[in-house]
């Protein structure tokens, strides 16, 4: 099977959009990642043995039932409101019911470790600006980290979000790391687009597309003027080599830009 770096998936008749699995063209991600679009009163139940699972609401209103708890969460869209994400360990079950037309993302990976279920709320993952004033101020972006190794040391995954300002770059300076990473894109208008770089290859980012960033490939990205771009970023830790906030490795060819004058 030929490995691929970028995908343009579509929802099937059951409202499922498949990104990476353990055995499809994006198996290098070491994660099973899918997006669901449910109509009002539709529901899905998730229970994975030997895997951890994160359920991230993208839009709509969901009723989450798990371990005797029932929580209602809502999100107008990814551009105006923060994230809710339910994180489950192996063998734990959750039912997701749409109380109106809704979308959510499900990220899974192999993990036998047992841990307490947690529902992350917007206040747990506040948006923060990065790269403000740098590189001519065209790499400014908002970032949140829902969980990583510091927040959830028992997890084999990282889950976070990025909002690109119109016409701006993200993941800049060009950087790489040994852990695989998957980006899932959304735009504030259906005709929105951007550019996603993976090594020496460039792909057109559009609504619901995704990039599968293989280890050690540089991966900056940009959004066209006039559009906001949302990126859900997901990283798979490697055994004995987890991704940490300090392991971002910028390409040496571009380090001079840190001290460049853009006036």
Residue with tokens 């990065």: 130
pLDDT at 263 over 80: no
Higher-confidence position of 192 and 2: 192
Confidence of residue 262 (pLDDT cuts 50, 70, 90): confident
Q: pTM of the entire structure?
A: 0.97
259 in any annotated domain: no
Reduced 3-state DSSP string for the chain: CCCCCEECCCCCCCCEEECCCCCCCCHHHCCEEEEEEECCCCEEEEECCCEEEEEEEEEEEEEEEECCEEEEEEECCCCCCCCCEEEECCCCEEEEEECCCEEEEEEEEECCCCCCCEEECHHHCCCEEECCCCHHHCCCEEEEEEECCCCCCCCCEEEEEEEECCCCEECCCCEECCCCEEEEEEECCCCCCEEEEECCEEEEECCCCEEEECCCCCCCEEECCCCCEEEEEEEECECCECCCHHHCEECHHHHHHHHCCCC
Mean pLDDT, range 56-71, rounded to an integer: 98
256 in any annotated domain: no
Please give the Cα distance from 229 to 225 (Å, whole number).
10
Please give the Cα distance from 88 to 152 (Å, whole number).
12
HSE (side-chain half, CA atoms, 13 Å) at 211: 29
pLDDT at 248 over 80: no
200 in any annotated domain: yes
Mean pLDDT, range 41-51, rounded to an integer: 98
254 in any annotated domain: no
91 in any annotated domain: yes
Please give the Cα distance from 245 to 31 (Å, whole number).
20
Q: List CB contacts of 236: < 8 A, sequence separation 6 or more.
A: 29, 30, 31, 109, 156, 157, 158, 179, 180, 181
Confidence of residue 133 (pLDDT cuts 50, 70, 90): confident
Express as a percent the part of the chain with pLDDT over 70: 100
Mean pLDDT, range 66-71, rounded to an integer: 97
Mean pLDDT, range 80-94, rounded to an integer: 98
Mean pLDDT, range 12-29, rounded to an integer: 98
164 in any annotated domain: yes
Mean pLDDT, range 152-176, rounded to an integer: 96
Please give the Cα distance from 85 to 99 (Å, whole number).
17
Residue with tokens 């749409």: 98
CATH number of the domain enclosing 132:
2.60.120.10
pLDDT at 4 over 90: yes
253 in any annotated domain: no
Residue 99, domain extent? 6-247
Q: What is the pLDDT of residue 82?
A: 97
Residue with tokens 């036998």: 112
Confidence of residue 176 (pLDDT cuts 50, 70, 90): very high
CB atoms within 10 A of CB 67: 10
**Overall number of domains in the chain:** 1
Per-residue pLDDT of 189-231, as tens digits, reads 999 999 999 999 999 999 999 999 999 999 999 999 999 999 9
Q: What is the pLDDT of residue 247?
A: 74
260 in any annotated domain: no
């Amino acid at each position: 099977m030929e490995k691929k770096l970028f995908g343009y998936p579509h929802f099937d008749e059951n409202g499922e959009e498949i990104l990476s699995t353990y055995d499809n063209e994006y198996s290098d991600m070491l994660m099973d990642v899918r997006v669901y679009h449910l109509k009002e009163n539709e529901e899905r139940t998730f229970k994975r043995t030997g895997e951890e699972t994160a359920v991230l609401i993208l839009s709509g209103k969901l009723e989450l039932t798990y371990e005797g708890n029932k929580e209602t969460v809502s999100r107008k869209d990814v551009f105006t409101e923060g994230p809710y994400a339910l994180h489950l360990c192996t063998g734990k079950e959750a039912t997701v019911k749409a109380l109106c037309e809704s979308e959510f993302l499900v990220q899974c990976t192999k993990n036998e470790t047992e841990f307490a279920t947690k529902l992350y709320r917007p206040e747990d993952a506040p948006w923060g600006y990065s790269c403000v004033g740098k590189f001519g101020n065209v790499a400014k972006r908002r970032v949140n980290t829902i969980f990583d190794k510091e927040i959830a040391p028992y997890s084999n995954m990282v889950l976070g979000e990025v909002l690109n300002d119109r016409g701006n770059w993200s993941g800049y300076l060009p950087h790489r790391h040994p852990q695989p990473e998957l980006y899932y894109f959304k735009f504030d208008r259906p005709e929105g687009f951007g550019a996603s770089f993976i090594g020496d290859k460039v792909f057109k980012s559009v609504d619901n597309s995704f990039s599968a960033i293989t280890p050690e490939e540089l991966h900056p990205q940009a959004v066209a003027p006039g559009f906001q771009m949302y990126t859900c970023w997901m990283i798979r830790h490697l055994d004995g080599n987890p991704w940490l906030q300090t392991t971002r490795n910028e390409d040496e060819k571009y380090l001079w830009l840190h001290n460049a004058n853009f006036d």
